[in-house]
Structure 1
Amino acid sequence: MTTPTGGGVFGRALRAEIAHLARSRWDLILLIAMPVVLMIVVGAMLFQGVVRDVPVAVVDQDHSAFSRAAVRNMEASPGVRVVAQPTDLEAAWPLMRSGQIYSLAYIPRGAEKNAFRQPDAVIVYYNGAFQTVGSLAASAQTTALTNAAAPLIADRARALGVPAARLKTPAVQVTILGNPQLSFELFLGGLIMPGVLHLLMACASVMGVGRELRGGSLKDWSARMDGRLTAALAGKLTPYVLTFTFWGAVWIAWLCGWRGWGVEGSLVMLLGGMLALMAATAGISALLVALTGGMDVSFSATAIYAGSAIAFSNGTLPLLHGPAFARFWSAVLPFTHYLRLQNEQMVLGSDVAASLAPLLILLGVAAGTFALSIPLAHRRAGRAPKPEDLSLHLPTRSFGGAFVGTFAGIFRHRPLSSTILLAVVAYAFYYPMAYVGQTPVKLPVAVVDQDHSAFSRRLVQEINATRALDAATVTASPAEAEHMLRNGEVDAVMHIPERFESSLIHGDAKGVGLYLNGAYLVRATAMGKALGGAAAAAAEQTLTPVIEATRLPERAPAMVQRPLYNTTEGYGSYAVPAVSAIILQQTLLLGAALFAGLRRETNAQALSTRSFLGLWAALTLIGSVASLFYFGFVFWFQDYPRMGDLFGLILAVPVFAASVSALGLAIGSLFDRHERAMQILVGTSVPLFFLGGAAWPLFLMPEPLVWLARLSPSTSAIQAFVKLNAAGATLGEVGPELVTLSALAVLWSTAAWFRLKRA
């Protein structure tokens, strides 16, 4: 008898895996249906692309030509929509707390008359708990107010016999490389969907390899593959790598082709990076299964490393000077390197050589993890299978018995206890590590100094004096600075033209140029604000003699922006409270689904109505305690906005927990084996967060998608808990969200009861 060659084993394993996938409904759902559905959801969610028509309000107590012009400017602005004009601030705060407006312009009595003497008279408040939308709305309102003040400034200048230009801060011409429209479709679309595909790929390959385990052993599979596990493992993983690489290419074709964003660099390098990411993900999954000998632990590890990959990827808050663990973990995760390659080639048009390093790292991870998994797999193949007891029985006609039995089952089964209990505690301290820094710190800036004046030297000093910026390079070549920006060596470029200081003093300033990296909108916004402030401060010192000569205490009415409910403007204080609702939902959802899946897998006896209520009550209690642990201790420990309305939280938390646990029981009752809960549901975490309206507002999403999103308790929970914790909203102000959660609790508990009362 001829022993099959390694190539023959590869082909046999490949054909066997394809044949299994063809007849496995849930695997096909993960490989085909979920990528398509999630791409449609993300594509529809971000279709608008740019934040427009944000609802805002104006409190006009001045009733002057200036205030009327400001309101007209706001109504003409595409960025905001004036939906209310309360008579005073007290009447405006409920609108802000309830989320009906994101920004509020306050024009007090006498603002026009006393503009030069009261520079802080005009204030724009914005909702810092929803930082992205709130800050953009505040910027649009500030621009409208500034434009309305321009004629006032000119009139004052003429009355004083001073050239109007001398009373103005020099213009800052902002250019966004790679994303000039500041499109969130390009930014978030390039961040979310590759991350989701990476997570789905990880779950699919864990299930593919883990399916061959029998009591922690690979002995049977090794025998079928003639002991040639290298070729067998490669053949098994190939369909998953190729399938998800294909879906990644489809998303790139949609975003860069159909939606017209284009690929600024090398398409071949971009697609090669996607293939390398999926290969690395497959290698890590194989290593986890071979190392742990169980799918449950492997899925938990997958949820930790791949589920948080976006947070640690530098795609939002940069980790350049973050905690050592966060920087280390970011460097370890393969998605970090893929995102860098993608942004360089898809958005910035970097040199191909600049992207070789992340590509080689991904290929190294793929080869290294696959190589490490082989001896571990052989060791698993040499072990005898251990018996497994998955039984999970509950008293079928007793509320109290089912209630107590639920807790006993959770502590008895490691997958349940690790998901429902340990994961809640672990994520409370693990996930916020990505945002400990709160704001960007010392991001590198290149200064193109063609002026070589006291002003340009002062500007470099002002830049280095900020917390966010570091003038790492000073050059006279704009081309060199732009090349550095495109290749990721710096994050921004400040260009000071020739004879700038002289023109500034004589009142005809040309303006400075500011170039930002459009691939990272969060850091671009922060850097633009910091660089603009540094330029204004440097100009202020240069113009001081002119100002004193005119005997003016101030040049123009200042427009002050004040964040509410997140006064430090910290990214962690904005992101983590919203993400916490997803963490709480997904841990409870997965736990409930695992519970129901275990009962179906072991053919447990059907539950009566009383027993079902006992099971549901136990899971609701667990979810309530976990939520209060987050909103109480964790938010206090991490110093996030918290406990704005304690009574409202105490009432809202059980409704949320009841709806989530019911949904988990209903979904879990559909699965043929309990591991499907992790395989199918883990990949929904990221889209559900963005469907919650914290990072991308619900009013910019298509109405059918919003209604679909509201079927998930997290959508209403994110809105309700952020408002209750940070803004101190009353129960009436979060009434719509609580009504929705109550309705979902009834809907999903009915579905779960109908499923679980059947054997």
Structure 2
Amino acid sequence: MTTPTGGVFGRALRAEVAHLARSGWDLILLIVMPVVLMVVVGAMLYQGVVRDVPVAVVDQDHSAFSRAAIRHMEASPGVRVVAQPTDLEAAWPLMRSGKIYSLAYIPRGAEKNAFRQPDAVIVYFTGAFQTVGSLAASAQTTALTSAAAPLILDRARALGVPAARLKTPAVQVTILGNPHLSFELFLGGLIMPGVLHLLMACAAVMGVGRELRGGSLQAWSARMDGRLAAALAGKLTPYVLAFTLWGAVWIAWLCGWRGWGVEGSLLVLLGGLFALMAATAGISALLVTLTGDMDVSFSATAVYAGSAIAFSNGTLPLLHGPAFAQVWSAVLPFTHYLRLQNEQMVLGSDIAASIEPLLILLAVAVGTFALSVPLAHRRARRAPKPEDLSLSLPTRSFGGAFVGTFAGIFKHRPLSSTILLAVVAYAFYYPMAYVGQTPVKLPVAVVDQDHSALSRRLVQEMNATRALDASVVTASPSEAERMLRNGEVDAVMHIPERFESSLIHGDAKGVGLYLNGAYLVRATAMGKALGGAAAAAAEQTLTPVIEATRLLERAPTVVQRPLYNTTDGYGSYAVPAVSAIILQQTLLLGAALFAGLRRETGAQPLSTRSFLGLWAALTLIGCVASLFYFGFVFWFQDYPRMGDLFGIFLAVPVFAASVSALGLAIGSLFDRHERAMQILVATSVPLFFLGGAAWPLFLMPEPLAWLARLSPSTSAIQAFVKLNAAGANVAEVAPELLTLAVLAVTFGAVAWRRLGDRSSNPAVG
């Protein structure tokens, strides 16, 4: 007598819940990690807006203008003047060491008409930490411009030119959905859904993969009466519901408690969240049933879900990126969820606009689940194959353990694929999301109510930029705003009636600029490009007035120059920092897998010499991988590299030693080696943001900033970016190197204790 399908579903559901109730590590993934990561991300972004960025001023003019400029900077909430070096040579060490993010250089004679190139007022900012550096530079530029304004008017009056004739059109910027340019809303809406998506994927892989026996599902199929469709559905349901609930909790925190609100339909937003988790569960089931190998499934999960944020269009848009990046972005379910979330949570788009991504997510969920069922039946018909997980090392020989470590890595596919192949694969895979470096030809709607030569010139100037494409010209502001909210365009430029005539007669009307606040990276780039296009078009109209009074020579020229990332490219800023995370996580996972395999197979404890041999071998692998990135990969991808060779060669071994020791210590806790991938993969994204590259450490709560330094990647990101890009010397990164050395010694002692003393290895779950 067979069990009804509904009975199998219920039986599988109850069996999975019962397993979760008694499995410590699965409960950690299902309950503890979402809570901890939400607390970390929430605390990290709590301040929301970048404020009090440390900057410096080199004042060689010592004039009323330069003193006024410094007062304006000190009054700005965005920056904090922490140093006033006497010259640029004294300022560069502050920039290289990361003590300042931006530097205003006011040359001698600036107040006496020295505003022209090459004696322009220059604002240097660190492009290696682009987000904070560019915001600091903008704040300093605004302060300089404000200080110069009275000077220009005084000289105009002295020349007998009416001040009104000098007015240029103001640009009124309106940010839809995120008017305060809050990084809490932008990054919070990007990071946590991506992390929950990755946690969900790992949990589902472990849930289904746990039933594999030698690549077969035969035993599980027998317990479920062969009804694997119902059994798979019952097994995956607890994970889908749990992570949908955690996603709803995060939305409640961000939009409710923190007050950002849901601009569109909460029901559609929650439906999209559920569809994302269901699609993730379907993909996990498909990977396990297709490969019959949990390690391979985890590796594939790390590739597709671990990089989902990078390929999601949430940061650098892929509209005109490489074909692979565009196709891969469209394949990934997180891309479609993020679009739906931004439309409904941030922009208040029409519900109809979000139906497409919702249907795509549901189709992925149904399609992958439907494909996994016949594959599961196929796995159930296969006989289990014997597995050899043994990983023995000579217990009393440094050299034997050193050589045996490499032999073990090549023997076990999970180790070789994680420690060796993943390092190479990620070197070329991850940068594909940032090949374009800057936004290219993003669609702009132009509301032209002037229909003048100037408005047409303004459209031409926009189309001449690399970033903009004035693809739509309309007379209806409401239609343009609807297009912006529904994602049909990325910005709107509103040119009012009588715009040209008012500009010529000295009563300039403003240009309205509307940007999509859900995507701050592209909004910032488009704001600069649109503002520049408006200024260029207006300058042609005002040229007769300017030339008549020769004020072009007397107006201040403030030039911004990015340092250490001269193209100001997003990839040149993001990938070098992410590389430290890639290097850490591949080595960390490999070391944890190594220790987990030894624990799982009951290997003998190691003597001190053997442990040091194991540690040295893993450290050497980490060194080779790091130098491969900083030498060949950065050269191949044309990223800033090898600024200080001695510092790099000193920092790399200390970093590799700290990471490998941490991996061995963590891996010794796991009851089975797959836990390394299940537990550690999802930490990659939060660890990157805790590294201070995208969101600076000084804006985080001090206890969190100190805790972040327990991860080697935090100090490594700071040190490697400064050494590679800025050419910082050892003394300028000494705090980071000292932290890494302390971590290496501390984690090494813990790992030696764990691997060398079996009595201290209590099981967890």
Superposed displacement of residue 549, structure 1: 2.4
Write out aligned runs for 1:402-551 (5 A): 402-551=401-550
Q: C-alpha separation between the residues in 2 aligned to 1:125 and 1:405? A: 51
Moved more, 554-563 or 283-292: 554-563
Q: C-alpha separation between the residues in 2 aligned to 1:353 and 1:599? A: 54
- Compared CA separation, residues 554 and 614, structure 1 to 2 (3 A): same
Superposed displacement of residue 510, structure 1: 1.2
In the other structure, the counterpart of 1:254 is 253
Deviations 1:255-290 (A, max 9, x none): 000000000000000000000000000000000000
- Compared CA separation, residues 458 and 119, structure 1 to 2 (3 A): farther
Contact 2:107 2:119 in 1 (8 A): no
Tell me the secondary structure at the aligned position of residue 557 of structure 1.
coil
Q: C-alpha separation between the residues in 1 aligned to 2:717 and 2:83? A: 25
Q: C-alpha separation between the residues in 1 aligned to 2:39 and 2:700? A: 12
- Compared CA separation, residues 215 and 659, structure 1 to 2 (3 A): same
Contact 2:113 2:553 in 1 (8 A): no
Tell me the secondary structure at the aligned position of residue 488 of structure 2.
coil
- Compared CA separation, residues 542 and 30, structure 1 to 2 (3 A): same
Superposed displacement of residue 4, structure 1: 3.2
Deviations 1:588-629 (A, max 9, x none): 000000000000000000000000000000000000000000
Contact 1:119 1:559 in 2 (8 A): no
Contact 1:62 1:107 in 2 (8 A): yes
Tell me the secondary structure at the aligned position of residue 209 of structure 1.
helix
Superposed displacement of residue 3, structure 1: 3.6
Superposed displacement of residue 165, structure 1: 3.4
In the other structure, the counterpart of 2:274 is 275
Tell me the secondary structure at the aligned position of residue 141 of structure 1.
helix
Superposed displacement of residue 68, structure 1: 0.3
- Compared CA separation, residues 499 and 643, structure 1 to 2 (3 A): same
Superposed displacement of residue 92, structure 1: 0.1
Write out aligned runs for 1:379-398 (5 A): 379-398=378-397
Contact 2:167 2:507 in 1 (8 A): no
Contact 2:168 2:503 in 1 (8 A): no
Deviations 1:345-390 (A, max 9, x none): 0000000000000000000000000000011000000000000000
Contact 2:167 2:508 in 1 (8 A): no
Contact 1:120 1:557 in 2 (8 A): no
Normalization by structure 1: what TM-score?
A: 0.99
- Compared CA separation, residues 88 and 675, structure 1 to 2 (3 A): same
Deviations 1:385-412 (A, max 9, x none): 0000000000000000000000000000
Tell me the secondary structure at the aligned position of residue 732 of structure 2.
coil
Deviations 1:627-654 (A, max 9, x none): 0000000000000000100111011000
Q: C-alpha separation between the residues in 2 aligned to 1:404 and 1:203? A: 32
Tell me the secondary structure at the aligned position of residue 731 of structure 2.
coil
Deviating 4+ runs (over 4 angstroms): 115-120
Superposed displacement of residue 166, structure 1: 2.8
Contact 1:428 1:634 in 2 (8 A): yes
Superposed displacement of residue 164, structure 1: 2.0
Q: C-alpha separation between the residues in 1 aligned to 2:520 and 2:228? A: 45
Deviations 1:77-130 (A, max 9, x none): 000000000000000000000000000000011001115655852000000000
Moved more, 111-120 or 530-539: 111-120
Contact 1:167 1:556 in 2 (8 A): no
In the other structure, the counterpart of 1:593 is 592
Superposed displacement of residue 193, structure 1: 0.2
Tell me the secondary structure at the aligned position of residue 597 of structure 2.
helix
Deviations 1:14-68 (A, max 9, x none): 0000000000000000000000000000000000000000000000000000000
Tell me the secondary structure at the aligned position of residue 478 of structure 2.
helix
**How many residues get paired?**
756
Superposed displacement of residue 443, structure 1: 0.1
Deviations 1:116-162 (A, max 9, x none): 65585200000000000000000000000000001001101111111
Contact 1:115 1:556 in 2 (8 A): no
Contact 1:124 1:560 in 2 (8 A): yes
Q: C-alpha separation between the residues in 2 aligned to 1:167 and 1:625? A: 60
In the other structure, the counterpart of 1:4 is 4
Tell me the secondary structure at the aligned position of residue 733 of structure 1.
helix
Deviations 1:390-446 (A, max 9, x none): 000000000000000000000000000000000000000000000000000000000
Q: C-alpha separation between the residues in 1 aligned to 2:3 and 2:61? A: 91
Deviations 1:549-577 (A, max 9, x none): 22334462111100000000100000000
Q: C-alpha separation between the residues in 1 aligned to 2:556 and 2:114? A: 5
Q: C-alpha separation between the residues in 1 aligned to 2:106 and 2:351? A: 52
Superposed displacement of residue 167, structure 1: 2.6
Q: C-alpha separation between the residues in 2 aligned to 1:116 and 1:237? A: 66
- Compared CA separation, residues 290 and 673, structure 1 to 2 (3 A): same
Q: C-alpha separation between the residues in 2 aligned to 1:693 and 1:168? A: 41
Alignment gaps of 5+ in structure 1: none
Residue 655 of structure 2 corresponds to residue 652 of structure 1: no
Moved more, 251-260 or 148-157: 148-157
Tell me the secondary structure at the aligned position of residue 553 of structure 2.
coil
- Compared CA separation, residues 723 and 450, structure 1 to 2 (3 A): same
Q: C-alpha separation between the residues in 1 aligned to 2:559 and 2:626? A: 36
Tell me the secondary structure at the aligned position of residue 556 of structure 1.
coil
Q: C-alpha separation between the residues in 1 aligned to 2:104 and 2:551? A: 26
Contact 1:494 1:512 in 2 (8 A): yes
Contact 2:115 2:121 in 1 (8 A): no
Tell me the secondary structure at the aligned position of residue 672 of structure 2.
coil
In the other structure, the counterpart of 2:114 is 115
Contact 1:237 1:282 in 2 (8 A): yes
Moved more, 110-119 or 657-666: 110-119
Contact 1:410 1:417 in 2 (8 A): yes
Deviations 1:661-688 (A, max 9, x none): 0000000000000000000000000000
Contact 1:119 1:556 in 2 (8 A): no
Q: C-alpha separation between the residues in 2 aligned to 1:548 and 1:209? A: 75
Deviations 1:222-261 (A, max 9, x none): 0000000000000000000000000000000000000000
Tell me the secondary structure at the aligned position of residue 122 of structure 2.
strand
Contact 2:265 2:344 in 1 (8 A): yes
Superposed displacement of residue 548, structure 1: 2.2
Alignment gaps of 5+ in structure 2: 756-764
Contact 2:719 2:736 in 1 (8 A): yes
Contact 1:449 1:456 in 2 (8 A): yes
Contact 1:209 1:236 in 2 (8 A): yes
Q: C-alpha separation between the residues in 1 aligned to 2:741 and 2:181? A: 38
Q: C-alpha separation between the residues in 2 aligned to 1:166 and 1:496? A: 20
Tell me the secondary structure at the aligned position of residue 730 of structure 2.
coil
Tell me the secondary structure at the aligned position of residue 734 of structure 1.
helix
Contact 2:272 2:358 in 1 (8 A): yes
Q: C-alpha separation between the residues in 1 aligned to 2:543 and 2:598? A: 77
- Compared CA separation, residues 164 and 555, structure 1 to 2 (3 A): farther
Contact 1:168 1:555 in 2 (8 A): no
CA RMSD of aligned residues (A): 1.1
In the other structure, the counterpart of 2:761 is none
Contact 1:592 1:668 in 2 (8 A): yes
Contact 1:167 1:555 in 2 (8 A): no
Superposed displacement of residue 168, structure 1: 4.0
Superposed displacement of residue 511, structure 1: 1.2
Contact 2:171 2:510 in 1 (8 A): yes
Contact 1:593 1:674 in 2 (8 A): yes
Q: C-alpha separation between the residues in 2 aligned to 1:310 and 1:247? A: 18
Taking every aligned residue pair, what percent have the same amino acid on both sides?
Answer: 91
Q: C-alpha separation between the residues in 2 aligned to 1:149 and 1:143? A: 10
Contact 2:438 2:569 in 1 (8 A): yes
Q: C-alpha separation between the residues in 2 aligned to 1:190 and 1:169? A: 37
Contact 1:195 1:335 in 2 (8 A): yes
Superposed displacement of residue 163, structure 1: 2.1
Q: C-alpha separation between the residues in 2 aligned to 1:720 and 1:61? A: 31
